[in-house]
Structure 1
Amino acid sequence: MTEATGSLWEAITPPAPPFAPLDGAVTADVVIVGAGFLGLSAALHAAMAGLDVVLLESHQPGFGASGRNTGFVVPSLKASIGPTDVVRAMGETHADRLLRLVAGSGAEVFGLIARHGIDCGAVQNGWLQPAHSRQAEAALRGRLPRLLQAGVDADWLDRDAMAARTGIAGLHGGIRVASGGQITPLAYARGLARAAVAAGVRLHGDSPVTALIPDGAGWRLSTPGGQVLARRVLMTTNALIGDLLPDLRASVIPARVFQIATQVMPGSLRQSLLPDMAPVADTRRHTFALRWSPDGRLVTGGMVPPLPGRLALARRQFARRLARLVPGLPPIRADYAWTGVIAGTLDFLPRMMRLAPGLEAAIGCNGRGVALTTALGRELGPWLAGRIPDDDFVLPVTAARPVPFRRIAGLGPDLILPVWSAHDAFEARFR
């Protein structure tokens, strides 16, 4: 087929009627800005808590990273983050709350899908994290007890068991998180949007916020077509904040990620490669991730150097990487390639920030967006309704914490990529 310029998820997700822009002046209890997974889940649960909610999206639901990611449901934090790191960052009480939230986040996603009848190719057959080297395998073994202590439904697969689960002989043993799995992310976002509207949320697409100013005891938000006056505002834009709130923009590290989807693969390959359709993401610094799409394609991706023609480079780079790491595949053709921007933080942990009275923001999914944002949205709903005081919220509510050297911090992931790749290759070969 001809190379596609959009994402695979756009191609295989049934089209949804667009949500109309805001037109005129309205009032609400709370305005949520950004209709990705976090904004959609928060809006749904806030409406279920009895609030009058307006949700504003600059494009349409799932336009950003929520509709462009790999669709992994990962109920754990980054591999490098253990419970002691979380305790050090936010104290024992909030660390325990966050770890329990993360442990149950896979069940939250699939439970929400079932309750609202969301058709999004959901498969809950686990998420696999094999090691790419003996050293990484030892580190993963040491991490497993901490995951179990935090309540994550995980177990250990030795090298043979991991090879059987993945069909990839070159990997080492690793962790299986049973409550994880995969979805079609754009279909999930659109399903959440329908569920939110059914719960009473007034969702407006193509309504970028152009101004946000205090007004009496609340805030007035302006869009090209109208205004909303509300007593409370929640920003859920993550990396796509633009210039609206400089302190918020300065608190995340944007990282551009690329994905490819191959041609439809022979049906016989599905019997040996990821036979359970459990997605895999290994321990490389430049992670190798792989899954099946519902229509029988392999989906993989990561980062590419900041060179001209990055999308074309992504097609070549990830096709070559896939052929090298999964021997025996037919000649690979990258039928689809797309890109999106995720939001990171220096400690790889999410943030709940109060920018001003009545103006809050949740940020920093660090590549764990599907599960973490869905579960966090469940907590945000009753918190916005005043049923959960700040001290009892899952995350500490803090002021904005700008990333040091923010103007160059966004280049960090791109600049360090060659170092990561060389280190990964050395470990895999010699360790």
Structure 2
Amino acid sequence: MTRSADLWDKSLWYATAEEPDPGSDAPADARVLVVGGGFTGLSTALHLAERGVRVTLIEAEKIGYGASGRNGGQVIPGLKVDPAEMRARWGSEAGGRLVDFAGGVADRVFDLVGRYGIACGASRNGWIQGAHSMLALKAVHARAREWEAEGAPVEVYDAQAMASATGAVGYTGGWRDMRAGMLNPLAYARGLARAARSLGVSVVTGKRVTAVTRDGAGWKLDLGGETLRGETVVLATNAYDATLMPKLARSILPVQSTVIATVPLSGNVARSILPQGACASEVRKLAFYYRMTPDGRFAIGGRGATGPEHSMGLQAALEGGMRRTFPQLGDVQIEKAWSGHLALTMDHLPHLHEPEPGLWAVAAYNGRGVAMATGMGAALAARIAEGTPLPLPETGIRPIAWHALRRPVMDVGVRYYWMKDKLGFAS
């Protein structure tokens, strides 16, 4: 069997990334030590460095090795919770701040790309969310109207408009959020690392942190015989570590996300799919997400598998869904296939924790990691450097009671959500 971990350098993003791998600096003590070289860690380090804070970032593998380098490259604002629910949960003031923050995270991504000249094939032509039933369409249109009321530029689609906007068959309608866009996520991660290094961040790769321990008023990291010290530690390993803080690992659910990409399409076929240059996904609980790439390929992804092995079943389901939804693709060849793990939470929200003073942990973007992890890193940097309130309150770490049985339980859950999706319910 093929392990998902062995496919990270087989992705289309790895093959086409314009930003080079940044290499590795020598480990050095710093005021803030960041563990994890994905979007959260890189954004935290970069935004701290912009404030003059000395930072060392440590990544066990390569920059972008985890979910940050393996996702679909869609830059989508917002959470899996809509504005009205944010205000209902946290009140008009705190909920309103969260709405503003969540609605602006895509802006932050594209601002960083522009300011630091990150070569990641970025484009900003919106994100389309498609409904697979009339019941789902009602929820989708309600979401669009909520964000429109917040000032977001949106378009609302019926079935005909949806077909024209996507080139797909089978949708009852949808909406388009013009704040969104797409990029090569691995190149974006490497560009963030380059930008952080230009501001003095020590970016250390190929060094695994084996322990985090209190050291007087600060903290120390064990790198397998080598020790780093700092005032503050940020754990930004997400679904890629279960040892540094086991309680945190038991509070999230790692799930595999798989992406396949075709060979470059012929001109007419390529022009028939997402002709406005948007990216897209579905409102299903087990949704597909898809896009065209700068070199004219069609890429589609989805999640649902568990375990470390690359799921050939999920890969086959993606290919079948692709050919049903876009019949014009015919028997086009699949050239690239890869997978990685993202983290889910039971409440569908990212989790921020400060279990001890000066020790922070951030995890689980529930499929919205490109924009939200960038925004969370910026917010955490402001909190550490200046005491700025966080947009999403930190919480205690709450392990999932059935976490040890997560694989069979999640497999049952996947079958349950497949049934709900087939019945037309919205997520």
Whether the TM-score (by the shorter chain) exceeds 0.5 is yes
Aligned to 1:382: 382
Cα offset for 1:411?
Answer: 4.7
Matching of residues 76-155 of structure 1 within 5 Å: 76-78=78-80, 81-155=81-155
Equivalent residue letter for 2:412: L
Equivalent residue letter for 2:259: Q
Aligned to 2:262: 262
Matching of residues 208-223 of structure 1 within 5 Å: 208-223=208-223
Aligned to 1:183: 183
Kept in 2: contact 1:253–1:410 (CA 8 A) = no
SS at match of 2:275: coil
Matching of residues 306-345 of structure 1 within 5 Å: 310-345=310-345
Cα offset for 1:278?
Answer: 0.6
SS at match of 2:372: helix
Does the C-alpha gap of structure 1 residues 371 and 173 become closer, same or farther in structure 2, counting only changes over 3 Å?
same
Kept in 2: contact 1:148–1:154 (CA 8 A) = yes
Kept in 2: contact 1:288–1:301 (CA 8 A) = yes
What TM-score, normalized by structure 1, do the two folds share? 0.91
Aligned to 1:59: 61
Listed as ranges, the gaps of 5+ residues in structure 2 are 1-5
Equivalent residue letter for 2:351: R
Cα offset for 1:22?
Answer: 4.3
Does the C-alpha gap of structure 1 residues 412 and 109 become closer, same or farther in structure 2, counting only changes over 3 Å?
farther
Does the C-alpha gap of structure 1 residues 237 and 309 become closer, same or farther in structure 2, counting only changes over 3 Å?
closer
Identity of aligned residues (%): 37
Kept in 1: contact 2:300–2:318 (CA 8 A) = yes
Equivalent residue letter for 2:39: F
1:12-61 CA distances to partner (integer Å, 9 max, x unpaired)? Answer: 114724522645xx321111111101111110000111110011111111
Listed as ranges, the gaps of 5+ residues in structure 1 are none
User: 2:405 matched to 1:408?
Assistant: yes
Does the C-alpha gap of structure 1 residues 382 and 304 become closer, same or farther in structure 2, counting only changes over 3 Å?
closer
1:81-121 CA distances to partner (integer Å, 9 max, x unpaired)? Answer: 22343345444443222221111111111111011111111
SS at match of 2:31: strand
1:168-221 CA distances to partner (integer Å, 9 max, x unpaired)? Answer: 132122121101011111011111110111111111001110111111110010
SS at match of 2:30: strand
1:149-184 CA distances to partner (integer Å, 9 max, x unpaired)? Answer: 444332312222222111113212212110101111
The alignment of Structure 1 onto Structure 2 pairs a total of residues equal to 418
Equivalent residue letter for 1:20: S
1:120-145 CA distances to partner (integer Å, 9 max, x unpaired)? Answer: 11110000012111111112222223
Kept in 2: contact 1:157–1:175 (CA 8 A) = yes
Structure 1 stretch 295-304 or stretch 355-364: which is displaced more? 295-304
CA distance in 2: counterparts of 1:308 and 1:227, whole angstroms: 30
Does the C-alpha gap of structure 1 residues 309 and 346 become closer, same or farther in structure 2, counting only changes over 3 Å?
closer
Kept in 2: contact 1:350–1:365 (CA 8 A) = yes
Does the C-alpha gap of structure 1 residues 410 and 149 become closer, same or farther in structure 2, counting only changes over 3 Å?
farther
CA distance in 2: counterparts of 1:22 and 1:360, whole angstroms: 23
CA distance in 2: counterparts of 1:309 and 1:364, whole angstroms: 21
Matching of residues 193-232 of structure 1 within 5 Å: 193-224=193-224, 226-232=226-232
Equivalent residue letter for 2:14: E
Matching of residues 278-427 of structure 1 within 5 Å: 278-303=278-303, 310-385=310-385, 387-389=386-388, 392-409=389-406, 411-427=408-424
CA distance in 1: counterparts of 2:219 and 2:305, whole angstroms: 41
Cα offset for 1:288?
Answer: 2.1
CA distance in 1: counterparts of 2:304 and 2:396, whole angstroms: 33
Cα offset for 1:272?
Answer: 1.4
Kept in 2: contact 1:22–1:223 (CA 8 A) = no
Does the C-alpha gap of structure 1 residues 347 and 359 become closer, same or farther in structure 2, counting only changes over 3 Å?
same
User: 2:73 matched to 1:74?
Assistant: no
CA distance in 1: counterparts of 2:312 and 2:396, whole angstroms: 40
Structure 1 stretch 225-234 or stretch 365-374: which is displaced more? 225-234
SS at match of 2:122: coil
CA distance in 2: counterparts of 1:177 and 1:411, whole angstroms: 36
Does the C-alpha gap of structure 1 residues 17 and 420 become closer, same or farther in structure 2, counting only changes over 3 Å?
closer
